[in-house]
A and B are shown apart, each in its own frame.
Chain A
Amino acid sequence: MSAGASHTNAPRRAMRVRMLLAWVGALVVLLGIDLTTGAASLSSSEIWHSLVNPQSVGSTEHLIVWQLRLPQALMAIVTGAALGLAGAEMQTVLENPLASPFTLGISSAAALGAALSLALGVHLPGIPVEYGVTANAFLMGLLCALLLDHAAKRLRMAQHGIVLLGIALVFGFNALLALIQLVSDAAALQNLLYWMMGSLGKSRWADVGLLSAVLAFAGVFSMRQAWRLTALRFGEERAASLGVDTKRVRRHALMRVSLLAATAVALVGVIGFVGLVAPHIARRLWGEDHRWYLPASACAGALILLAASVCAKQLSTQIEIPVGIVTTLVGIPFFMVVLSRRRLG
């Protein structure tokens, strides 16, 4: 029986590995397309030579590829992965398929925290100024996540109640953001607008490095909790009866979600839809064994945001269309196709 179980499990695992590799392959292809798309006309050959042998191309080409296009494309990948992972964990711990950092207000809360830092100069004591925006965004995002968790568990709020509360929080935070805009000077106002639309245009290597580090940190801890997070899918009491310290797992997951969402928002602004859609795609294709579901959701998020970045550039090479706008427009039909298909495996 043991051999049989092992034998029958192997094709399923192999199929999942193949599917994940196919998605990584698609990500590489999209990265190539993204790098060759932009306002400046650079051929694929020039891009390739600039990547593998930077000395063989002119300084302009080098600057465009290495300082503009590559960090922006990589930022799309890590931001999408961060939001995909955050959305997956959030949907699991709040037991709500409509949960995501965007729909439940964490992104808006993080943006408000960032706005407090940028427009009003409100910083947390003891935090270096250069990290003030991220720290504010993280704290506000965490407070929002804890509020949602408290409402869900202590007030015994039903699933639709949590979503409604999240929507109310989005409106509330956006109203406060608008108030801050009202009293901001022109420079601060420009920065705030940049956040609220979500843009990869200002991404630099330092941003890519910071978000990659946060993603790696959160990802490692998420994967270590994969069994316990899967157990939460059976419900609070069943998970507790399986030996899971549900409060601790939930609290740690919400901290990771806040860190991921807040860092992403602080660096590229509010990008909706990715954190909501990516987990659904991953769930349909890979199932809910979180050892697969979490990396698959991160991969799906990366693919969606990179695809949105490519679409934004295809639509107009002259003006930068904020990727947050395109994400939603690209994501909806993609989501509909996935939902209409029967799940695999």
Chain B
Amino acid sequence: MALRLHELHCSLGRRKVLQGLSAAPLNHGQVVAVLGRNGVGKSTLLRSIAGTVPCTATQLHLGDLDLRPLRPAARAETIRYLPQASPGALYLSVQECLAVALNAHHRHPAEETRQRIAIVASDLGIDTLLERPVDELSGGQRQLVWLAQSLIHQPRALLLDEPLAALDPNFQHHVMKLLRRLAEERALLVLVVLHDLNMAMRYADQALVLQDGKVLAQGPVDFALSPETLARAFRVRARIEPCSQGTSMIVIDDLLTL
């Protein structure tokens, strides 16, 4: 089971954002970090897969399912996309947020709704927040609620656009550990847009590095995030340093001139 992308094209207005993007199959049970400079097409890639922007591709399959003819609502059966932008003021409790996520497409009986909310809330450690108004939660807690919204439908792929933005270090690691566990336990494919290269090094199985709407490098993070790739993708002089606990760390020494 894998997500297959081939010759993916997407334009926003007159700007060609994705220009024939192709990638090796992205296997389920993995966390894939989507990396690249601002404007290279990371968010557009996720939105193209979710179907919220029009795109063309010679192949866009999740397992045997051809996503191309499916509208966003139909793709949501198997893929859940979490945009970067947070909703504005909401007069809803956490429980209501989760109930909406479950019932927006198909209505479920009240008892089943309660049970599935309880399961996902317990899994993500937000069961004590269910009665709280979502507006009164911290940024990290809200992010967990949005994740729970995406997971309550038990999708096969999760597309997350910068879920760590504006989170403190504790919540950043909490969310990434959670994604790793969910990917392994549920055989879930997690595509996550990140800007923190060390977060990618530590928690992602694979990196998908984009440049100018195409894949510049793809593979296991240690392999894909080489100093050469980082120089081309981010225009920085970087080195990979082994840390005492066995993980590697990217240290950026300087910017490269254009």
Interchain CB contact under 8 A, B80 and A233: no
In A235-266, the 8 Å CB interface with B consists of 235-246
Which residues on the B side are within 8 Å of A244 (C-beta)? 73, 104-105
Which residues on the A side are within 8 Å of B118 (C-beta)? 1-2, 4-5
Cα A226 to Cα B6 with chains together (Å): 39
Whether A284 sits at the interface, judged by CB under 8 Å, is yes
In A264-316, the 8 Å CB interface with B consists of 283-284, 287-289
Whether B14 sits at the interface, judged by CB under 8 Å, is no
Interchain CB contact under 8 A, A242 and B104: yes
Interchain CB contact under 8 A, A2 and B76: no
Interchain CB contact under 8 A, A12 and B131: yes
Per-residue CB contact flags for chain B residues 37-52 toward chain A (1 = under 8 Å, else 0) read 0000000000100111
Interchain CB contact under 8 A, A9 and B87: no
Give min CB distance, B206 to chain A, whole Å.
23
Whether A234 sits at the interface, judged by CB under 8 Å, is yes
Give min CB distance, B146 to chain A, whole Å.
8
Interchain CB contact under 8 A, A240 and B131: no
Which residues on the A side are within 8 Å of B146 (C-beta)? 238
Whether A45 sits at the interface, judged by CB under 8 Å, is no
Chain B contact residue count (CB 8 A cutoff): 46
Whether A8 sits at the interface, judged by CB under 8 Å, is yes
In B24-59, the 8 Å CB interface with A consists of 47, 50-52
Give min CB distance, A226 to chain B, whole Å.
9
Closest to B112 in A: A2
Interchain CB contact under 8 A, A241 and B91: no
Q: Which 4 A-B pairs have CB atoms at the shortest separation, nearest pair first?
A: A243-B105, A243-B76, A1-B118, A240-B72
Where the two chains meet, the residues of A that have a C-beta atom closer than 8 Å to any C-beta of B are 1-2, 4-6, 8-9, 12, 227-228, 230-231, 233-246, 283-284, 287-289, 343
9 contacting pairs across A/B (C-beta < 8 A): A227-B103, A237-B81, A237-B83, A238-B82, A238-B149, A242-B104, A243-B73, A244-B73, A289-B100
Can you add 6 more A-B contacts, CB < 8 Å, to A234-B97, A241-B50?
A5-B117, A8-B130, A231-B100, A238-B149, A241-B72, A242-B149
Where the two chains meet, the residues of B that have a C-beta atom closer than 8 Å to any C-beta of A are 47, 50-52, 71-73, 76-77, 79-83, 85, 87, 90-93, 95-97, 99-101, 103-107, 111, 114-115, 117-119, 121-122, 127, 130-131, 146, 149-150, 153
